[in-house]
Chains A and B, each alone.
Chain A
Amino acid sequence: MKSLILKEIDELIFGSLGIIIFISFFIGGVVSIQTALNMTNPIIPRTLIGFATRQSVILEFAPTFTSVIMAGKVGSYITSSIGTMRVTEQIDALEVMGVNSLNYLVFPKIIALLFYPFAIAIAMYVGIFGGWVAGVFGGFSTSADFVQGIQMEFIPFHVTYSFIKTLLFSFIIATIPSFHGYYMKGGALEVGKASTTSFVWTSVVIIITNYVLTQLLLG
């Protein structure tokens, strides 16, 4: 089981770091540019660019936006890999051997995705760094203003709130696609359909959970 969990951490978390870093960097950059372009009033301080980037990235873009992307990447992988095992009778083979197939296939994924908040922490850093690069090298803000903005009125609970969300999202990303893969029926075409359905449902549940948690924790 230990080796299975390590394998899943490698595939689900380390395998996703590239896309997470890429998306976070550019999203942070876009948030920074958009904020700067919308600050037409000269009395608004330029530190707001750093402040808005930090708040947007930590509160929403890193945990929620990245999780929707992960629902597509990791969720589809989970559904299609388990679904293919169902179609090709590999799950039946596990059951016949006396292996608890649900535990063998799904539990390591749930444990592996407990490491997902570490990936989101990286997304937060990279997102803010992307905002700094876009803001400073795009000529929208000075480095000092941006860094001052990042440090302005920082509420540590926002990070806690973000990680609470991420933990719940990781559970959703592990379980909903597993359900769609494990209980699917049919052939190869249905594996594709199950992947699509699982992505839709995972995204919907993430969005609704995000709303409910925000209301509960920050409302």
Chain B
Amino acid sequence: MDQRGYNYYKLRINTIITRLMIDVNKIEKSFGDAHILKGFSTCFDKGKTNLIIGQSGSGKTVFLKCLLGLFSPEKGSISYDGKTYANLSGREQRDLRQEMGMVFQGSALFDSMTVEGNVMFPLEMFTKQPKDEMEDRVNAVLKRVNLIDAHHKYPSEISGGMQKRVAIARAIVMNPKYLFCDEPNSGLDPKTAIIIDNLIQEITKEYDITTVINTHDMNSVMQIGEKILFLKNGLKEWEGSNKEIFKTDNAAVTDFVYSSELFKKVRQMYIEERN
């Protein structure tokens, strides 16, 4: 077994011991002749912010959509808490999806509903709670994402950062076990992006959920990357934490993460300081 295989199995055994949540096994996905995901395995831990990084076209979004059950992989499997998605019935798959929350890149809020309506939507669809209980829950999650005076505004009337917060509130309103985010801070200024990153990390700890974030943002990688999966050409090139990414010798990772001269200098200084 080579070093990469050893590391993978070590990580996998550790995760099984410490509550495995999402287990991906040799997943493959193609569209026509384009082989997007070429058979890699990984696992995402509970209570951690797991980041997927890689260049455009590396297969990040396809992988995330496979995790969400929106695409079916041709080979391999994805298990949630030991339940293999492909082996579940249609009804069970739908039930499992109700345990997932998703923050889309463009927020994907329902235009015709107010902020309150958007957040209340999953409760109205899947619970039989009285209206006042639903309102209490909506108020609680909106307060949690620091949105207090926007209940009756429509998505088009609020800023991009606020839309992301509403999307996060909608994603957590049902107390999900799994939270997926597709580039949650794209199009946001650096300060708001860090606020959103921190919010996602706080919620991950607070609700003890498995969070998987698809990102290009290196600030996010350094800030909240408790586990980072680097994809290249549909394969897993590297995985580790935000501390390990400073020390890695993997050329593909360092080329991607430290692409600017400034980042290269910062890394050099960090390594020298550690030594």
**What residues of chain A have their CB less than 8 Å away from a CB belonging to chain B?**
84, 88-90, 92-93, 95-100
Give chain A residues whose Cβ lies under 8 Å from the Cβ of B97. Answer: 95-98
Whether A92 and B108, one on each chain, are in contact in the complex, defined by CB atoms closer than 8 angstroms, is yes
- CB A60 to nearest CB in B, in angstroms, measures 36
Contact with A along B92-106 (1 / 0, CB 8 A): 001111101010111
Contact (A96, B70) CB under 8 Å given A88-B106, A88-B108, A90-B108: yes
Tell me which of B94, B102, B126 contacts A93 (CB under 8 A): B102
Sorting the interface of chain B by its residue count into under 10, 10 to 19, 20 to 34 or 35 or more gives: 20 to 34
Give chain B residues whose Cβ lies under 8 Å from the Cβ of A92. Answer: 70, 102, 104, 108
Whether B104 and A93, one on each chain, are in contact in the complex, defined by CB atoms closer than 8 angstroms, is yes
Give chain B residues whose Cβ lies under 8 Å from the Cβ of A99. Answer: 125
A-B contact count (CB 8 A): 45
Whether B106 and A97, one on each chain, are in contact in the complex, defined by CB atoms closer than 8 angstroms, is no
Whether B106 and A89, one on each chain, are in contact in the complex, defined by CB atoms closer than 8 angstroms, is yes
Interface core residue of A95, A98, A99 (most chain B CB under 10 Å)? A98
Q: Report how far A96 CA is from B69 CA in the complex, Å.
A: 8
Whether A95 and B70, one on each chain, are in contact in the complex, defined by CB atoms closer than 8 angstroms, is yes
Whether B95 and A98, one on each chain, are in contact in the complex, defined by CB atoms closer than 8 angstroms, is yes
Interface core residue of B94, B105, B108, B126 (most chain A CB under 10 Å)? B108
Q: Report how far A89 CA is from B104 CA in the complex, Å.
A: 8
Whether A89 and B105, one on each chain, are in contact in the complex, defined by CB atoms closer than 8 angstroms, is yes
Whether A97 and B125, one on each chain, are in contact in the complex, defined by CB atoms closer than 8 angstroms, is yes
Sample (24) of A-B pairs whose CB atoms are under 8 Å apart? A84-B111, A88-B106, A88-B108, A89-B106, A89-B108, A90-B108, A90-B109, A92-B70, A92-B102, A93-B104, A95-B69, A95-B97, A96-B69, A96-B70, A96-B97, A96-B100, A96-B180, A97-B97, A97-B98, A97-B125, A98-B95, A98-B98, A98-B126, A99-B125
- CB B94 to nearest CB in A, in angstroms, measures 5
Of chain B, the residue at the smallest CB distance from A84 is B111
- CB A82 to nearest CB in B, in angstroms, measures 12
Give chain A residues whose Cβ lies under 8 Å from the Cβ of B94. Answer: 98, 100
- CB B248 to nearest CB in A, in angstroms, measures 33
Q: Report how far A104 CA is from B104 CA in the complex, Å.
A: 20
- CB A9 to nearest CB in B, in angstroms, measures 16
Give chain B residues whose Cβ lies under 8 Å from the Cβ of A88. Answer: 106, 108, 111
18 further interface pairs, Cβ-Cβ under 8 Å (given A89-B108, A90-B111, A96-B68): A88-B108, A90-B108, A93-B102, A93-B108, A93-B110, A95-B70, A96-B70, A96-B97, A96-B100, A96-B102, A96-B180, A97-B97, A97-B102, A97-B122, A98-B96, A98-B98, A99-B125, A100-B94
Give chain A residues whose Cβ lies under 8 Å from the Cβ of B111. Answer: 84, 88, 90
- CB B180 to nearest CB in A, in angstroms, measures 8
Q: Report how far A89 CA is from B98 CA in the complex, Å.
A: 17
Give chain A residues whose Cβ lies under 8 Å from the Cβ of B109. Answer: 90
Q: Report how far A97 CA is from B180 CA in the complex, Å.
A: 12
Q: Report how far A96 CA is from B66 CA in the complex, Å.
A: 11
- CB B134 to nearest CB in A, in angstroms, measures 14
- CB A96 to nearest CB in B, in angstroms, measures 4
Of chain A, the residue at the smallest CB distance from B105 is A89
- CB B35 to nearest CB in A, in angstroms, measures 21
Interface core residue of A84, A88, A90, A96 (most chain B CB under 10 Å)? A96
Interface core residue of A90, A95, A97 (most chain B CB under 10 Å)? A97
Of chain A, the residue at the smallest CB distance from B91 is A98
Give chain B residues whose Cβ lies under 8 Å from the Cβ of A96. Answer: 68-70, 97, 100, 102, 180
B45-93 interface (Cβ within 8 A of A): 68-70
Of chain B, the residue at the smallest CB distance from A89 is B108
Of chain B, the residue at the smallest CB distance from A97 is B122
7 closest Cβ contacts across the A-B interface? A98-B97, A89-B108, A98-B98, A93-B108, A96-B102, A98-B94, A89-B104
- CB B48 to nearest CB in A, in angstroms, measures 21
